[in-house]
Amino acid sequence: MTTETSTIENKDDNKQTNSVVVEMQHLKKSFGEKEVLLDINLVMNKGENLVILGKSGTGKSVLIKCIVGLMEIDDGKLLLFRQDISQLKAKELTELHRKIGFLFQSGALYDSMTVRENLEFPLKRQVTKVSKKEMDELVKEALENVGLSDTIDMTPSELSGGMRKRLGLARTLILKPEIMLYDEPSTGLDPITSKEISNLILEVQKKYHTSSIIITHDRECAKLTANRIIVIRDGVCAAEGSYAELEKSEDPWVRSFFE
C-alpha cells in the first residue's frame, strides 16, 4: 500500500476542522466467497469532501452502503461521529443514521409519487412531526436549492437524468444531514450537467457545512469537488492525497485515473 501525504485543500473559504465524523479501521466485507473489502482504513473529517476512486467492482458503493446501514460489515471497526456502531443499540444507531444522507446512483426517486410527494416522504417519516405549512416551505426551499421549482407537480418519469439526480439530492438534503454520501453522482450525465452536479455538491458543502464522501469515476467531478482523494485497489486503500498530489503519483496505476 502506498500512502501519500495528505494535504487538505481549502475550497470556497470553507474552514476544515479536525473532528472526525467517519472512521474505518481494518474494515472487511465479503459476499459469499468473494471478498470485496479486505482492509479498509480511512478517516473523514468534519466539513471535508472525500472522493473515493477505484475500478468498477472494487467495493466503493459497498463501502458507503456500510456507513448508511444498508449493509453490515463482516469485521473491523466503523465509527460514526466517534461512536463504534457495533457497541450501539439499534435505536442509537438509527439516530446516528438519521444524520446521514445518501444520493443513489439512479436518484432512486419513487416512481409512483409526484416530485412534491417524493420530497414530503422523508419529512413525514421524521420522529418530530412537521406541520403542513412547514412542509410546504421546506419542499419549496429544497426545490429552489436545486433549481427545480417548476417541477413540483411532475412525476419522476417526466424528468431528465440530470433533473432526477438533482431531485434525489433535494430529497436527501431536505432532512439537512451532517454527512452526505454520493454514489456516482455524475454517472450517465453529459459533461455540462455533470459539472452542474459537481457545483451543486460544492454548494451543499458550503451552505450546509456537510461532510461528504463522493464515489465517482469522473475525473472532472473529483477535481472540482475533492478536498482529499482515496484510491481503492484490491479491497484496500492504495493511495491517499489531494488531486494535485495523486495526479503526479509515482504509481502509474494511480496516475492512470487522472490521465
Q: In the complex with another protein, which residue's Cβ is closer, 25 or 106?
A: 106
Residue 122 touching another protein (CB under 8 A): yes
* 235 neighbors 24 (Cβ within 8 angstroms): no
Residue 116 touching another protein (CB under 8 A): no
* Least distance in angstroms from the C-beta of 128 to another protein: 12
Single residue of 18, 126, 160, 199 touching another protein by CB under 8 A: 126
Q: In the complex with another protein, which residue's Cβ is closer, 102 or 243?
A: 102
* Total residues found in the chain within this entry: 259
Single residue of 46, 97, 99, 116 touching another protein by CB under 8 A: 97
DSSP string, 225-253: H-SEEEEEETTEEEEEE-HHHHHT-S-HH
| Among 4, 27, 22, residue whose Cα is nearest residue 236 | 27
The window from 120-128, 215-223, 237-245, 247-255 that contacts another protein (CB under 8 A) reads 120-128
Single residue of 81, 121, 208, 258 touching another protein by CB under 8 A: 121
Query: Which residues, numbered 15-74, are part of the site for another protein (CB under 8 A)?
Result: 31-33, 65, 68-70
Q: In the complex with another protein, which residue's Cβ is closer, 182 or 243?
A: 182
Residue 91 touching another protein (CB under 8 A): no
Residue 221 C-alpha cell reads as 467531478
Measured distance CA(147)–CA(103) in Å, rounded: 17
The window from 79-87, 100-108, 190-198, 238-246 that contacts another protein (CB under 8 A) reads 100-108
Residue 3 C-alpha cell reads as 500512502
| Among 229, 226, 221, residue whose Cα is nearest residue 246 | 229
Q: What is the 3-state secondary structure (H, E, C) of 143-169?
A: HHHCCCHHHCCCCHHHCCHHHHHHHHH
| Among 63, 20, 24, 60, residue whose Cα is nearest residue 42 | 24
Residue 109 touching another protein (CB under 8 A): yes
Single residue of 15, 125, 129, 132 touching another protein by CB under 8 A: 125
| Among 253, 252, 227, 221, residue whose Cα is nearest residue 241 | 227
* 132 neighbors 140 (Cβ within 8 angstroms): no
Q: In the complex with another protein, which residue's Cβ is closer, 78 or 224?
A: 78
**Residue pointed to by grid coordinates 481549502:** 10
Q: In the complex with another protein, which residue's Cβ is closer, 36 or 231?
A: 36
Single residue of 14, 16, 25, 105 touching another protein by CB under 8 A: 105
Measured distance CA(47)–CA(38) in Å, rounded: 27
Residue 88 touching another protein (CB under 8 A): no
Interface contacts to another protein, rule CB under 8 A = 31-33, 65, 68-70, 94, 97-98, 100-102, 104-106, 108-112, 121-122, 125-126
